[in-house]
Structure 1
Amino acid sequence: MNTMSFIRCKKRGDKKYYYEVENKWVNGKVRQKVIKYLGTSPFKHRRREVNDFEAYLIAETIMKHTPSREGVLEVLKSMGIPIPMELKGMVKSVALEYDLLKKTTYLVVK
């Protein structure tokens, strides 16, 4: 069974810690498995490899339409890159990077 990961925020005292987690069924109950610790700022150096079509969709949305934060976040959500509600205000920039050596395109969310 295929599952999607998502970002979870845990509060400890007055600090917030972010984790990339996914839900799994264990003994008839849902358990969260931590995939990666993201630190206190989940978008610090957040990169994701995207294919050519996804890069085209992001670039078209940013270049053709009025680039509003909500519009860009909706495109990311439709591509399977959801941004949790409590983090939407933290997104400052979205960029496409092309690595010439690896010949791959990355989406960077900061």
Structure 2
Amino acid sequence: MTLVPHKVRRNGKEYYELIEEKRVNGKVVQKYIGYLGKDPKAKNELKASDILPYVERLLKHGISQEEIDEILKKIGIEYDAWPITKIIIENDLKLDKIYLKLK
């Protein structure tokens, strides 16, 4: 079983989705796992222990871009979105992983 990001074109736009590939009866079978968005690097996998100390600060109204940048550097996340308008913490129960998505 292998998880692979896959590029899809719809209506002239590119999107990424996560596909699980495995062999069944000697043939490769693909199964759709989830949507990754327009940029596969926008979603960062992390451990709950890495983000928990910072969740309250990240969700605070009025947090500055500099504070967000400082927190993400402490966690070890590099990003190119500026200014950040959305911070999404996603717990994927199917994959048993936690993602931080920035927009």
User: Normalization by structure 1: what TM-score?
Assistant: 0.47
User: Normalization by structure 2: what TM-score?
Assistant: 0.50
